[in-house]
A and B are shown apart, each in its own frame.
Chain A
Amino acid sequence: AQTVTQSQPEMSVQEAETVTLSCTYDTSESNYYLFWYKQPPSRQMILVIRQEAYKQQNATENRFSVNFQKAAKSFSLKISDSQLGDTAMYFCAFSSGGSQGNLIFGKGTKLSVKP
């Protein structure tokens, strides 16, 4: 069975600094998708970034980028120039059924951005 592990329950960062959130996963599949979702206090789940396992190039979306290490089964999220609005829970998720497959979530990392 696939599992997703986020080993950092809480993290904090100063505004304008860079922070990296960790995620590891376990699977025997060779083709899959990985995602990072943001959940602010409003409770809304917001897709931040996605990575296709067959692509070696790391995905980037503005201030958000990932470090995808397929052999190590690691998928970390880097947030550059952190902003107060980045304060949220961040969930790493895995899908082996294509980009529309069922998601398996980690337990999340609570990120606080301090002024």
Chain B
Amino acid sequence: NAGVTQTPKFRILKIGQSMTLQCTQDMNHNYMYWYRQDPGMGLKLIYYSVGAGITDKGEVPNGYNVSRSTTEDFPLRLELAAPSQTSVYFCASSSRTGQFFGPGTRLTVL
């Protein structure tokens, strides 16, 4: 049982490039989330999903897109990367106990 896995662990992008952050969970959780963590701050919600085919915006969705075609996968797409998107990105899934996080992706946009 791997829990929540994220790839890649690190990535450097140039301004204007695009990329997809991958997230997979093997716990059969319906709820999944994407957060970003800026230096010295707590996590802020980007997008979330309550099940396959259903997604909704969180607090900071601008510049991102998501899809949820399966229960296991919840990829986050960055279009036209900007320096303001430099951050650590966490994917999470939840049970009734609480949310369980992946190891994070550190993204730098130069």
Is the Cβ of B96 less than 8 Å from the Cβ of A99?
Answer: yes
Is the Cβ of A105 less than 8 Å from the Cβ of B96?
Answer: no
With an 8 Å Cβ cutoff, the count of chain A residues facing the other chain is: 21
Inter-chain contacts of A8 with B (CB < 8 A):
none
Interface on chain B toward A: helix, strand, loop, or mixed SS? strand
With an 8 Å Cβ cutoff, the count of chain B residues facing the other chain is: 25
Q: Which of A33, A50, A99, A102 has the most CB of B within 10 A?
A: A102
Q: Does chain A have a CB within 8 A of B64?
A: no
Inter-chain contacts of A113 with B (CB < 8 A):
none
Is the Cβ of B43 less than 8 Å from the Cβ of A91?
Answer: yes
Q: Does chain A have a CB within 8 A of B62?
A: no
> Of A47, A106, A108, which contacts B98 at CB under 8 A?
A47
A93-115 at interface with B (beta carbon < 8 Å): 93, 99-100, 102-108
Kindly provide the distance from the CB of A4 to the nearest chain B CB, expressed in whole angstroms: 7
Inter-chain contacts of B98 with A (CB < 8 A):
33, 35, 47, 50, 99
Is the Cβ of A47 less than 8 Å from the Cβ of B99?
Answer: yes
Is the Cβ of B94 less than 8 Å from the Cβ of A4?
Answer: no
> Of B35, B42, B88, B94, which contacts A100 at CB under 8 A?
B94
Q: Which residues of B come within 8 Å of A, CB atoms?
A: 31, 33, 35, 40-45, 48, 58, 88, 90, 92, 94-101, 103-104, 106
Q: Which residues of A come within 8 Å of B, CB atoms?
A: 4, 33, 35, 42-47, 50, 91, 93, 99-100, 102-108
29 chain-A/chain-B pairs, Cβ below 8 angstroms: A35-B98, A35-B99, A43-B88, A43-B104, A44-B103, A44-B104, A45-B90, A45-B101, A45-B104, A47-B100, A50-B98, A91-B42, A91-B43, A99-B94, A99-B95, A99-B96, A99-B97, A100-B94, A100-B95, A100-B96, A102-B45, A102-B48, A102-B58, A103-B35, A103-B43, A103-B99, A105-B44, A106-B42, A108-B41
